[in-house]
Structure 1
Amino acid sequence: MKALQVSIMGLCLTGFLACAQNSKTPKQVLDSFSEKFPTAKYVKWDKENETEWEAEFKMDGIKYSANFDTDGAWKETEHKVKSSEVPEQIKTALTTAFPDSKIEDIEVSDTKSGRFYEFMIEKGETDMEIVIDSKGNIVKKEMKDEEDSDND
């Protein structure tokens, strides 16, 4: 009986370790991630699409997501921020273009092209995603319907 319990525990542990390592994620993606984020913890991998992998992880107590192409090239890192962490120039650009709107969510997106601030706002009955670059230029304005908002 005791040998059976030990065997079951061993199988459970082996299954857990296999899931934690996600052997389907390409080695070059894992290597690039480890090099770029050496202090990342609690890493979870998912295939974003046919050419991209996404890691969700924690670093310095903050939740991040980072995307890499299948060759291991870094594409983007995102994390949520508070309004108080957004530069005044960016807040001014948003409130000037969308007065009387309510900010529901803010993320910072770092890419090879630079830093972008992504806002989910509500203006009346309309939900929108607004992306502003680090110079205060609105680079994207997209209407969101209820389904889009619920899935983000």
Structure 2
Amino acid sequence: MKKAIVGITLIFTSIISIAFTQKDKVPTVVKDAFSKKFPTVKRVNWQKEEVNEWEAEFKRKKKEYSANFLDDGTWQETEYEVDENEIPEHIISSVKASFSGYKIEEAEVSETVHGINYEFEIEKGKSEMAITIDSNGKIIHKESEDDERD
């Protein structure tokens, strides 16, 4: 009887494991869309980002990238970090004019079908903010981050 219970448990565990593996398997259409958009990239780490969205993490030109695709292969966004000296001057000027005294801690480029945005983590003392600026230098999002640590 114990052998039967152990056997059934093993079979059930295997079925569940296979079901989860199959469920989280990157659809071929998504892999194909990625290969078409980034034909020179060979190593990719895939993660399920949302219910119907996949995120590919990879290196390109010695930088860390992430690209998101829907289950049907539709590209959504590509993000990658940049150094401050790689950001157009009018974008930097917009940050400095709107957030005087803040220091840029991190900067990313976000490319979507709607265009390019610049995402920043900025800091002034204990005050931190996340901001997004469009390619024209207009602030399109800002969010204050609570820096208090207990």
SS in 2 for 1:47: strand
Give the alignment's TM-score, normalised by structure 1: 0.78
Q: What is the alpha-carbon root mean square deviation over aligned residues?
A: 1.7
Residue in structure 1 matched with residue 125 of structure 2 by the alignment: 124
Residue in structure 2 matched with residue 52 of structure 1 by the alignment: 53
Give the alignment's TM-score, normalised by structure 2: 0.79
Is 2:89 the counterpart of 1:106? no
Q: Is the 8 A contact 2:68 2:78 kept in 1?
A: yes
67-76 vs 120-129, which deviates more? 120-129
Residue in structure 2 matched with residue 95 of structure 1 by the alignment: 96
Tell me the distance in 2 between the aligned counterparts of 1:74 and 1:80. Answer: 19
Residue in structure 1 matched with residue 25 of structure 2 by the alignment: 24
Summarize the alignment of residues 126-145 of structure 1 with structure 2, pairs less than 5 Å apart.
126-145=127-146
Tell me the distance in 1 between the aligned counterparts of 2:133 and 2:50. Answer: 25
Tell me the distance in 1 between the aligned counterparts of 2:99 and 2:38. Answer: 36
Residue in structure 2 matched with residue 68 of structure 1 by the alignment: 69
Tell me the distance in 1 between the aligned counterparts of 2:72 and 2:46. Answer: 15
Q: Which runs of 5+ in 2 are unaligned?
A: 1-23
How many residues in Structure 1 have an aligned counterpart in Structure 2? 126
Is 2:68 the counterpart of 1:41? no
Cα offset for 1:96? 0.4
1:16-55 Cα deviation digits (max 9, x unpaired): xxxxxxx700111101000000011321000011121000
Code of the aligned partner of 1:144: E
Tell me the distance in 2 between the aligned counterparts of 1:106 and 1:136. Answer: 14
1:62-94 Cα deviation digits (max 9, x unpaired): 211000011110000000000000001000000
Cα offset for 1:110? 0.4
Tell me the distance in 2 between the aligned counterparts of 1:99 and 1:134. Answer: 20
The percentage of counterpart residues that share the same residue type is: 52
SS in 2 for 1:38: coil
Residue in structure 2 matched with residue 6 of structure 1 by the alignment: none
Tell me the distance in 1 between the aligned counterparts of 2:40 and 2:61. Answer: 8
Q: Which runs of 4+ in 1 moved over 6 A?
A: none
Q: Which runs of 5+ in 1 are unaligned?
A: 1-22, 148-152
Q: Is the 8 A contact 1:41 1:58 kept in 2?
A: no
Q: Is the 8 A contact 2:126 2:147 kept in 1?
A: no
Structure showing greater Rg: 2
